[in-house]
């Protein structure tokens, strides 16, 4: 829609109501404010929801791989052959053995349920960016060194260099019954992955040490697999799944965390539609301000018509006026949304200080910090919705203005 200089001049005049039109100016300002807040809320909420999904996927997949191969009964005896088959599967970029077993850890009279993870030296080194204190290089076979999650260390009251006792209830049989196996391990590193469940329970050690503690010999519990495309992991591993049928089951990250990610997706869609209603409210504000503007400018419109202004010109003038209000509100909303996202962690801490409440409990929200990941496509969609509704809100007032009969108006002037 191209405006002539005359149409643009009139539109600019109507965008800035005069002193006697304070009510119209107030309603227009409220319209801009509502559009701004609605767009900002949509950007913030959708970015945070995307951040949740992305951070959970990155952290969960980063630690567990895209899929797990697990034998029926929990012990994969011919794991070397299965590992070789997995590595030869097209699309698989990494496959490594893994032992994972719930156990009990004690230190200075404190006891905590833990998840023992036996990893290869290469997989242990992948934890290096998450290490808060200590050194992973000391986690060598038969060293009796372990790395523990930060919250687990805090719950036990243990630090680097302390010796914790890990208890395997399935110990050796003796004439007096089965005696639980208790082995002391030195904490050589403390890590924080950022996922509460992992930081609160994981104890990482080399696979040979885990096999010795669990008395499993040369067997392992599972193999973790990473592919070149997390979203197509099922298709990539289907040939391997068919070959292992009856011997082992292949479970991908979508199945393992199905309920969590489905809940996030449903909540994401629901929040988008719910907050879009606020944009609709903003559009109604634009509609009401334009209706008031048209009513107050009826005489001016009639004069413009008598001076030669066409219906099309009047239509473009009022559509432009309302659309500019929507555009200003949309741009201001984007700016506000990005500012809030940039300072989101500081805002949460400030609210916690003011209210005295823990607003971000990792036990409930899985992650230790509020995540955010802005999708440019979604931002464009939000802007499109806001601008589209703003444009639709201008059509009726613009049509009324264009339909003004100058004869009827000026007859009574």
Per-10-residue mean pLDDT for the chain, 413 residues long?
A: 72 67 73 87 87 74 78 76 88 89 92 92 86 90 92 93 91 67 92 82 93 86 86 86 83 76 77 80 80 77 77 82 86 93 84 74 61 87 88 84 70 57
**Radius of gyration (Cα) for the chain, nearest Å?**
32
Q: Is residue 253 part of a domain?
A: no
On whether both 33 and 77 belong to a single domain, the answer is: no
On whether both 31 and 122 belong to a single domain, the answer is: no
* pLDDT one-digit tens code per residue, 30-70: 888 888 988 998 899 888 888 877 777 776 666 677 888 88
Q: What contacts 239, CB < 8 A, 6 or more positions away?
A: 89
H helices present in 65-204, as ranges: 79-88, 121-125, 150-156, 196-199
On whether both 106 and 214 belong to a single domain, the answer is: yes
Per-residue tokens: 86? 């997995």
On whether both 318 and 401 belong to a single domain, the answer is: yes
On whether both 175 and 87 belong to a single domain, the answer is: yes
On whether both 89 and 234 belong to a single domain, the answer is: yes
> What is the number of domains present in the chain?
2
Alpha carbons 337 and 279: distance in angstroms, whole number: 14
Last residue of a domain, one of 218, 245, 272: 245
On whether both 299 and 180 belong to a single domain, the answer is: no
Domain extent for 343:
5-57+260-411
On whether both 51 and 117 belong to a single domain, the answer is: no
* pLDDT one-digit tens code per residue, 228-286: 888 788 888 888 888 888 778 888 877 777 776 777 778 778 878 877 788 888 788 78
Q: Is residue 65 part of a domain?
A: no
Q: What contacts 240, CB < 8 A, 6 or more positions away?
A: 69, 85, 86, 89, 92, 250
Length of the chain: 413
Give me the phi and psi of 272, to 5 degrees please.
Answer: -60, -45
Q: Is residue 254 part of a domain?
A: no
Last residue of a domain, one of 245, 280, 296: 245
Alpha carbons 220 and 116: distance in angstroms, whole number: 13
Q: Is residue 342 part of a domain?
A: yes
On whether both 229 and 275 belong to a single domain, the answer is: no
Last residue of a domain, one of 211, 245, 279: 245
Q: Is residue 389 part of a domain?
A: yes
Report the SS3 class of residue 210: helix
Q: Are the beta carbons of 256 and 34 closer than 8 angstroms?
A: no
């Amino acid at each position: 829609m191209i405006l002539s200089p005359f149409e643009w001049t009139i539109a600019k005049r109507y965008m800035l109501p005069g002193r006697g039109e304070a009510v119209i100016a107030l309603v227009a300002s409220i319209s801009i404010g509502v559009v701004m807040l609605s767009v900002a809320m949509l950007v913030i909420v959708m970015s945070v929801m995307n951040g949740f999904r992305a951070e959970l996927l990155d952290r969960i997949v980063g630690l567990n791989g895209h899929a797990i191969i697990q034998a029926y009964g929990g012990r994969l005896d011919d794991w070397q052959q299965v590992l070789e088959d997995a590595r030869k599967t097209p699309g698989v970029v990494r496959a490594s053995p893994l032992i994972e077993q719930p156990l009990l850890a004690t230190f200075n009279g404190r006891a905590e349920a833990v998840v023992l993870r036996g990893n290869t030296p290469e997989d242990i080194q992948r934890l290096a960016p998450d290490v808060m204190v200590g050194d992973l290089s000391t986690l060598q076979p038969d060293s009796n060194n372990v790395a523990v999650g930060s919250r687990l260390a805090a719950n036990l009251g243990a630090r680097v260099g302390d010796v914790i006792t890990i208890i395997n209830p399935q110990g050796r049989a003796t004439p007096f019954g089965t005696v639980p196996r208790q082995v002391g391990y030195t904490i050589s590193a403390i890590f924080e992955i950022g996922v509460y469940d992992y930081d609160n329970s994981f104890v990482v050690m080399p696979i040979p040490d885990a096999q010795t503690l669990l008395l499993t010999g040369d067997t392992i519990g599972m193999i973790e697999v990473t592919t070149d495309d997390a979203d197509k992991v099922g298709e990539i591993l289907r040939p391997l799944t068919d070959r292992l049928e009856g011997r082992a089951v292949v479970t991908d990250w979508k199945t393992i965390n199905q309920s969590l990610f489905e809940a996030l997706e449903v909540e994401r869609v629901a929040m988008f539609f719910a907050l879009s209603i606020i944009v609709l409210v903003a559009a109604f504000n634009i509609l009401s301000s334009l209706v008031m503007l048209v009513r107050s400018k009826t005489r001016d419109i009639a004069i413009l018509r008598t001076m030669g202004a066409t219906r099309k010109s009047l239509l473009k003038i009022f559509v432009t006026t309302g659309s500019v209000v929507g555009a200003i509100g949309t741009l201001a909303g984007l700016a506000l949304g990005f500012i809030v996202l940039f300072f989101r962690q500081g805002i949460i801490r400030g609210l916690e200080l003011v209210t005295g409440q823990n607003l971000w409990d990792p036990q409930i929200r899985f992650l230790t910090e509020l995540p955010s990941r802005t999708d440019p496509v979604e931002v464009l969609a939000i802007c499109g919705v806001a601008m589209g509704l703003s444009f639709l809100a201008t059509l009726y007032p613009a049509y009324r203005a264009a339909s003004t009969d100058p004869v009827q108006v000026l007859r009574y002037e």
